[in-house]
Amino acid sequence: MIYQGQAIQVIALEDNIFELRFDREGSSINKFDEQALTEFKAAIEALQGQSNIAGVLVSSAKDAFIVGADITMFHGVFARSEEEIVEMNLGLNQIFNALEDLPCPTVTAINGLALGGGFELCLSTDYRVMADSAKVGLPEVKLGIFPGWGGSVRLPRLIGVDNAIEWICSGNEKRADKALFEGAADVVVSVDQVRAAALDLLAQCQAGKVDYLARRAEKTSPVKLTPMDAMMAFETAKGFVAGKAGPHYPAPVAAIKAMQKHAAMGRDKALEVEAKAFAKVAKTDVCANLVGLFLSDQQIKKVSASHVEGAAKVGQAAVLGAGIMGGGIAYQSAVKGTPILMKDINEQAIQTGLDEASRLLSGQVERGRMDSKKMAASLSRIRPTLSYGDFAEVDLVVEAVVENPKVKGMVLAEVEKQVDKDTILTSNTSTISISRLAESLQRPENFCGMHFFNPVHRMPLVEVIRGEKTSDAAIAATVAYAQKMGKTPIVVNDCPGFLVNRILFPYFGGFAKLLEAGVELARIDKVMERFGWPMGPAYLLDVVGLDTAVHANGVMAEGFPDRMASDNPSAIAKLVEQGRLGQKSGSGFYNYEKDRKGKLRKQPAPEIQALLDSVVTEKRDFSDEEIIAAMMVPLCMETVRCLEDNIVASAAEADMGLIYGIGFPPFRGGALRYIDAMGVAEFCQLADSFAGLGNLYKPTDKLRAMAADNQRFYS
């Protein structure tokens, strides 16, 4: 042993070969945190001090190779000045360069996942031997940055510009066969053979059978493309990637620009270009927000882990109602391995539910994500029924019948008589109070809300709603089942609309205010889509269903009359009166027609102009910024209230709920991060400037106190 740290050891093997081994004490993974980086430098210095060094094997003693840099360091590091970030990266790059420049061949044995900085380490050795089960990749763009430890320099020189752009700009993990085919890996073997194969490759280098210096020179020289070819490759990619990433995610295009700029340079100059461009993206709000989201996601996973401790296993589930939601829930449960009974009172509905599940599964098969055997197995896990015959064996029931408190109360009381005394009952209601529904049950402690979002297979969020009498055991089983279904559960307390709809409806309230001021609806949609929403509010309402929105709005107005009730009949209610229910009826704020692929396309609906004119109370001009504020302030204010009212336990859970549940633009980090970015005092000022639009815009006393105290939601 020539070096022994807490994260890295350097072991002398036979024949002057040394093994640089990553093996973090007391952890199941290796990552590049401050400790590992400090030790990495010391370990390389120890290797540089070996006079007869004949080869270096880089390895990991964990199942994964190195999962990347420690993302919890990022906010602190990126808070430094641009110059300091450049200095820091260039300093770290010297360690990677020192490994690359050792006077002997170097090989990495990639036994498992190697991501980000972990894969950049692999790139700095001469060769990579990879396990067939391992994956590698550079996912930095997902955090609003791009590889800054030489990845943007070495990868295009190793696998070609086009491939490197795809790897870096998609941020996707790559399997071993792909890495081998494109030249990022040199040998692929089974995981138990990786170390031996890497040592064998070192022996071949020593024997002069492989020219490792020529290989090394490729990575340290300019990219091998004529200026014309380089120009073509980079310019075409820039247009394509900019179109895909959209205007709010600058990192992928910044990565291409950096690669273009340093393509004709040798390694050291190229690394300087990389460091400067990296520092620029690291300083963007987008990066801060995406890193924040990553950390919030980790926090949510920890919270969920604490909820599911001792959870009863759901081996058999059931769903009541085979409609849009029931069908989706059955599909999701089945595809993720939990058998589910799907009960309806209508045979036709059951057939429709099954057809939908079958359509989704065929889509997976067509896209090569599933084979027909797995499809058949998934389908067989859905057992359709018109009776309660098999309900005695069910561990958890999701009620997803029509949104009517009387019907739901009746159905829940009925099913409670058919199931075991420990069976958990849940409701997928969007609006009805869980504590109120619990009144129809003998065992209200076994009952909670399990609110999915439409379409179930695509939307990641499940709100798990705790009623007054809900037990921890019911929450535990429901959270565990949601996780098993591949969803992100967030536990919230009961109130009208729960967390997500309680926040969404004030946003629609802002939209109604703009219509009352005579602002054109297509313009509102366009401004909010440019702001980053996947669809504008009018379009979103059409997708939700205008009748559903009117119904939910009634529940919200009853629950929060001070700010959500309105004397004026809204445009939405008037459209419903005319039979315009949104996409489901072919018309709402827009008209809908099927295109050649059968997809619904929206068209303007000039015939509703008179109706829109009739809701205008006082015409007023709004700039684009004012439209954004009129829409976002009520949404943000209601998020603040949910946190203050303890509907949701933390800022992170509130923000992630909005991102996963209603597509809040991720790069803006969520409502509370949005307030933080603006400054709490500035936000209150902005809200006050809209006071004339009603109580939805009124900051709470607590928020004003936060502003006075210069506090934030995130430290």
Q: Minimum Å distance from CB 61 to ligand NAD?
A: 47
* 409 part of the interface to ligand NAD, by CB under 6 A: no
Residue 451 designated active-site: yes
- Whole-number minimum distance, CB 141 to ligand NAD, in Å? 32
According to CB under 6 A, which one of 105, 150, 156, 321 is a site residue for ligand NAD? 321
CB of 329 to ligand NAD, least distance (A): 9
Amino acid identity, position 108? T
Using CB under 6 A as the binding rule, whether residue 540 contacts ligand NAD is answered as: no
Cβ proximity to ligand NAD: between 103 and 460 the closer is 460
Residue type, 620: R
At 715 the three-state DSSP class reads: coil
Q: In the beta sheet, which residues pair with residue 382?
A: 340
The contact pattern for ligand NAD, residues 344-373, with x = CB under 6 A and - = no contact, is xxx--x------------------------
Write down the least CB distance from residue 457 to ligand NAD, Å. 13
- Catalytic residue chosen out of the listed positions 248, 451, 457, 551: 451
Cα-Cα-Cα-Cα torsion 153, 156, 157, 160, nearest 10 degrees, comes to -170
Q: Which of 219, 280, 343, 381 binds ligand NAD (CB under 6 A)?
A: 343
Asked whether position 588 contacts ligand NAD by CB under 6 A, the answer is no
Beta carbon of residue 643, minimum distance to ligand NAD (angstroms, whole number): 23
Which one, 3 or 498, has the nearer CB to ligand NAD? 498
Rounded least distance, CB 462 to ligand NAD, Å: 10
**Binding of residue 583 to ligand NAD (CB under 6 A):** no
Task: Give the H/E segment covering residue 136.
Answer: strand 135-137
- The SS3 assignment for 275 reads helix
Tell me if 541 contacts ligand NAD by CB under 6 A: no
What number of chain residues touch ligand NAD (CB under 6 A)? 24
323 interacts with ligand NAD by CB under 6 A? yes
The residue whose Cβ lies closest to ligand NAD is 323
> Interacting stretch for ligand NAD, rule CB under 6 A, among 106-114, 117-125, 426-434, 665-673?
426-434
**String of contacts with ligand NAD for each residue 596-635, x by CB under 6 A:** ----------------------------------------
128, containing H or E segment? strand 127-131
Name 461's bridge partners.
488
Examine residue 221 and tell whether it contacts ligand NAD (CB under 6 A): no
Site membership for ligand NAD, residue 430 (CB under 6 A):
yes
Does residue 428 belong to the site contacting ligand NAD (CB under 6 A)? yes
How would you classify the pairing of strands 317-320 and 187-189? unpaired
Q: Which residues contact 180 (CB under 8 A, 6 or more apart)?
A: 130, 186, 187, 188
Strand partners, 18: 12, 56
CA distance 345 to 646: 38
Phi and psi angles of residue 370, each rounded to the nearest 5 degrees, phi first: -150, 145
> Which residues between 437 and 466 bind ligand NAD (CB under 6 A)?
452-454
CB of 415 to ligand NAD, least distance (A): 8
Q: Which CB, 13 or 324, lies closer to ligand NAD?
A: 324
Strands (E) in 210-258, as ranges, are: none
Task: Give least dist CB 116 to ligand NAD, A.
Answer: 37
The verdict on 125 binding ligand NAD (CB under 6 A) reads no
The single residue among 411, 527, 672, 706 that binds ligand NAD, judged by CB under 6 A, is 411
Of 202-210, 296-304, 306-314, 322-330, the window that binds ligand NAD (rule: CB under 6 A) is 322-330
Residue 125 or 583 having the CB closest to ligand NAD? 583
Nearest approach, Cβ of residue 441 and ligand NAD (Å) = 15
Least Å from the CB of residue 386 to ligand NAD: 9
Please report, as a single letter, which amino acid is at residue 371: D
Q: What are the residues facing 288 on neighbouring strands? A: none
Asked whether position 401 contacts ligand NAD by CB under 6 A, the answer is yes
Cβ partners under 8 Å of residue 286, min gap 6: 144, 248, 249, 250, 251, 667
Nearer CB in complex with ligand NAD: 19/344: 344
The Cα 379–Cα 615 span in angstroms is 49
307: its two tokens: 């909820």
- Binding segment for ligand NAD among 166-174, 196-204, 371-379, 427-435 (CB under 6 A)? 427-435
Identify which range of 396-404, 433-441, 476-484, 681-689 contacts ligand NAD by CB under 6 A: 396-404
Q: Taking CB under 6 A as the criterion, which residues in 56-95 touch ligand NAD?
A: none
The answer to whether residue 325 forms part of the interface with ligand NAD (CB under 6 A) is yes
| Tokens 């927000």 sit on residue | 289
Q: CB-wise, 189 or 575, nearer to ligand NAD? A: 575
Q: Report d(CA 86, CA 271) in Å as an integer.
A: 10
Contacts 24+ apart (CB under 8 A), 442-449: 442/413, 442/416, 443/416, 444/468, 444/469, 444/470, 445/469, 445/470, 445/471, 445/473, 445/474, 446/422, 446/471, 446/473, 446/474, 447/412, 447/474, 448/424, 448/474, 448/475, 448/478, 449/494, 449/498
Closest approach, Cβ 256 to ligand NAD, in A, equals 39
Counted residue by residue, the chain has a size of 715
Cβ neighbours for 368, distance < 8 A, ≥ 6 positions apart: none
Q: Kindly state whether residue 314 participates in binding ligand NAD, applying the rule CB under 6 A.
A: no
Backbone φ, ψ for residue 66 (5° rounding): -140, 125
Name every residue whose Cβ is closer than 8 Å to that of residue 360 and which is 6 or more positions away in sequence. 331, 335, 457
Contact call for residues 435 and 448 (beta carbons, < 8 A): no
Angle at 485 between CA 484 and CA 486, to 5 degrees: 90
Find the shortest distance in angstroms from Cβ 558 to ligand NAD: 16
Q: Kindly state whether residue 485 participates in binding ligand NAD, applying the rule CB under 6 A.
A: no
CB atoms under 10 Å from CB of 654, counted, come to 26
User: Which residue in 2, 61, 402, 691 binds ligand NAD (CB under 6 A)?
Assistant: 402
* By the rule CB under 6 A, 385 interacts with ligand NAD: no
Cβ-based nearer residue to ligand NAD, 286 or 432: 432
Residue 301 CA: distances (Å) to CA of 154, 490, 639: 35, 9, 21
From 49-57, 131-139, 337-345, 528-536, span contacting ligand NAD (CB under 6 A): 337-345
Instruction: Please select the residue that binds ligand NAD; options are 5, 326, 449, 497, rule is CB under 6 A.
Output: 326
Among 33, 63, 162, 403, binds ligand NAD (CB under 6 A): 403
Q: Where are the alpha helices (DSSP H) in 264-390?
A: 267-282, 285-307, 324-335, 347-366, 372-380
Q: Which stretch binds ligand NAD (CB under 6 A): 114-122, 324-332, 585-593, 664-672?
A: 324-332
| Cβ 608 vs Cβ 589: under 8 Å | yes
Do the beta carbons of residue 463 and residue 500 sit within 8 Å? yes
User: What is the contact surface with ligand NAD in residues (CB under 6 A)?
Assistant: 320-326, 343-346, 349, 400-403, 407, 411, 428-430, 452-454
Which residues are part of the catalytic machinery?
Answer: 451
